[in-house]
Amino acid sequence: MTELAERKMRFLYALRSKGVTDPRVLSAMERIDRGHFVKGLFAERAYEDTPLPIACGQTISQPSVVGLMTQALDVGPRDKVLEIGTGSGYQAAILSQLARRVYTVERHRRLVREAQEVFDSLAFTNITALSADGSRGLPEQAPFDRIIVTAAAEDPPGPLLAQLREGGIMVLPVGQSDAVQSLIKVTRTAAGYDYEELRPVRFVPLVEGLGQD
C-alpha cells in the first residue's frame, strides 16, 4: 500500500473511533480528499484528525468534528442545506455529497473565491458559495431543511432559527468565543424549537459584518 493510501486509511479509522459511524457520512468523507482544501505548509497534515490554519486567520475544522456535525445534521438527498462559515470549503464539499443543494456563506471574500476554485476543479455543481454576513442567514433562499454553523455565536442567531423549515435541523456551536463551546442540535417542531446538547467543541467566533479581504 502506498503511504498516501495508508494515511487515508488511518484517517477513516480515526473518524470511526471518534464516533462517526453513519456509513453515508463515512463514504462522503472517504470520497472527498481533505488535501484539496489545505494549502502550503500544512498540506502534508491534511489526513491528521486536527484543525489546521487556512487563509484570513481562520481554520479548517477537525475532520472528526466535521463528521460528527454532518452525522447530527442527518442530511437527506432532497435537502437544501445552508452552511455559515465556508472557510476552506471542506464541510460544504462533504455536504454536497449528501444533499440536493448546498448554500455556503462566508464573510471573507478571499475564502469564498478559493473555495469556489476547488469546487470548480472537482466539478461540484450543487454548491453555491457567497460572501455575506451569515449571521443574517440567506433570506432569499429560505427556508432550509438543514442549517450548519461552523463558527461560534453566544446564542443561536434569530434569523437562522427563523429560516429553518418546520421539521428542520440546525447544528451549531454556542458559547463564549474563546472558551469551550457546546455543540447543539436544534430541531424546529410545530410548537417551537427543541434543543439538544451534543458535546464540547472549540470554533472560531461568528463575527458580524463582512471581512476586509
Per-residue binder mask for ligand SAH (CB under 6 A), 88-107, x = binder? x-xx-------------xxx
Of positions 52, 58, 69, 102, contacts ligand SAH by CB under 6 A: 58
- Choice between 2 and 144, CB closer to ligand SAH: 144
- C-alpha grid cell, residue 119: 469546487
d(CA 125, CA 120): 8
Find the shortest distance in angstroms from Cβ 197 to ligand SAH.
Answer: 21
d(CA 46, CA 63): 9
Q: Contact at 8 Å (CB) between 86 and 112?
A: yes
d(CA 6, CA 14): 12
- Choice between 53 and 143, CB closer to ligand SAH: 53
Q: Is 133 in the site for ligand SAH (CB under 6 A)?
A: yes
End-to-end CA distance of the chain: 42
Handedness of CA 168, 150, 12, 55 (dihedral sign): positive
- C-alpha grid cell, residue 213: 479581504
Find the shortest distance in angstroms from Cβ 203 to ligand SAH.
Answer: 7
Give the count of residues interacting with ligand SAH (CB under 6 A): 24
Q: Is 60 in the site for ligand SAH (CB under 6 A)?
A: yes
Q: Is 150 in the site for ligand SAH (CB under 6 A)?
A: yes
SS3 131: strand
- Choice between 85 and 175, CB closer to ligand SAH: 85
Task: Give the residue numbers marked as catalytic.
Answer: 61
Q: Is 181 in the site for ligand SAH (CB under 6 A)?
A: no
How far lies 164's CA from each of 60, 64, 72, 79, 202, in Å?
Answer: 25, 25, 15, 12, 24
Of positions 61, 62, 71, 97, contacts ligand SAH by CB under 6 A: 61
- Choice between 2 and 79, CB closer to ligand SAH: 79
Q: Tell me, rounded to whole angstroms, the distance of Cα 4 from its chain centroid.
A: 25
Binding site for ligand SAH (CB under 6 A): 58-61, 84-85, 87-88, 90-91, 105-108, 111, 133-135, 150-151, 204, 206-208
